[in-house]
A and B are shown apart, each in its own frame.
Chain A
């Protein structure tokens, strides 16, 4: 340190420069250290998936999408007979979503409306794979990028960077003890955050009182729309559909004809995944008055959608992937008899 003091005034600039440089260097050494401390980012992510599913917790998080910001409370119970979850919007309309393994109920107090639908809980796409995170290694880079503190708890920061322009990246903050997800950012190729959630408070509990899982809205003079016991459609279509082009690494994990609200016919639904990103492709017969209307591209936070018409059907791709990907996949849909 003696030597530093003898530096003349003129060398001040150089000294500052050196300081900045050393901070940068030490910073990167710190990151490297975090990665080499025996923490495998993929194992952390697997642990996080398990914790989010298997623990009981009650927390409040901020949801940020474009210019919109909302606060929500989530109550999650992992009982013997499956998962019970309740999500309550704390800002704007007091919407609530309650779901278990059988059904999802969405309460819309502003419209005095309850929509009940079949639950897709447990119909996991990626966890069907024996080793979910390993299967996506080829298309993403994983690293433990450092440490941070969220909602008063210490977290590991894990980066998931895509290797090509057909996927988005994630930055995840995983609590060090419980491995619950504390913060999550969905990022595009330029590193711009498209959508994020961050817990401001999170309590892990031994048990959750069933009363906490009841809707605060009785739904008494509400209109109920039930999509669970849907009348079966007459399906006289002999058309078979196929998605013929997609980025490398995506595979089909589900194909099903689904009855959907507002649709006069069952909708052909394909789900494709690379283990992390998920893309739905819907094929639905067009109504007569729609022949000249093309919806094209639209986006909702990190979700992009693209619709096109093929032989009197509307083909729509929906997914947390860049526009190029949904466009590529929807345009590649072909029919055969």
Chain B
């Protein structure tokens, strides 16, 4: 590493040199990296900004951790999820609006109509969202006489019945009443 480079590096640290060029060099030159951290340490010492213990391996440790960190693959869930990454929150809210507007149109086709809407909003990585059939509009499936469907219908009856009694109670009277509208109907 020549004197000119050292001068440039020093200028870069002081914010007086073209950053992009130096960053590029720093990434590829081990010698330069060492000089860079030395310069910073000198600066910190001069400014009386040094803790009691110094590790000169922080950068190595950090890159080691980064290398070993598992790649996060956003899981494909039934309904879209806003959990995975902070950056996705905005994307999700745009997608949510899309869903709402489709739903109000009342013509829902999970796969075909969702895709163009997403494309139109130019949201990054639309493939991470999977639009499911909306829960609120259950298809009118004729129940068969399997033990499971009998038990489900019976449970629905119980829920309706329970909520009817419950909705009298003043403390939370509207909640069970709302449930009655939401519970699937039964015959």
- Which A positions have Cβ atoms within 8 angstroms of B? 45, 48-50, 52-53, 61, 63, 65, 67-68, 70, 72, 74, 85, 87, 89, 91-93, 95-97, 104, 106, 108, 110-111, 113, 115, 117, 119-127, 132, 160, 170, 172, 181, 184, 186, 195, 197, 225, 254, 258, 260-263, 269, 271, 276, 278, 280, 282, 284, 287, 289-290, 292-293, 295, 298, 300-303, 305, 307, 314, 316, 318-320
Contact = CB atoms under 8 A, between A and B. Distances in A.
Contact of A74 (B163, B165, B174): B174
Interface residues of B, number: 45
A289 B157 contact: no
A90 B24 CA distance: 58
A45 B181 contact: no
B154 A110 contact: no
B169 A91 contact: no
B171 interface: yes
B90 interface: no
A117 B164 contact: yes
Contacts of B161: 258, 260, 269, 280, 282
Given A97-B177, A318-B159, A278 B186 contact: no
Given A67-B79, A126-B171, A292-B147, A278 B157 contact: no
A85 B163 CA distance: 15
Query: Do most interface residues of chain B lie in helix, strand or loop, or is the interface mixed?
Result: helix
Nearest to A303: B159
A93 B137 contact: yes
Given A123-B168, A293-B147, A318 B162 contact: yes
A334 to B, nearest CB: 20
Nearest to A49: B170
Contacts of A127: 168-170
Given A67-B79, A111-B140, A123-B168, A263 B157 contact: yes
Given A49-B170, A282-B158, A262 B186 contact: yes
7 contacts: A65-B179, A68-B135, A262-B157, A271-B165, A276-B171, A290-B151, A319-B162
A278 B169 contact: yes
Contacts of B151: 290, 293, 295, 307, 314
4 nearest A-B residue pairs (beta carbon): A49-B170, A92-B136, A293-B147, A63-B178
Contact of A305 (B155, B167, B170): B155
Contacts of A172: 171-172
Nearest to A47: B170
Interface of B: 79, 103, 134-138, 140, 145, 147-148, 150-151, 153-155, 157-175, 177-183, 185-187
Contacts of B172: 170, 172, 181, 184, 186, 320
Contacts of B148: 293
Given A63-B178, A89-B181, A278-B165, A110 B137 contact: yes
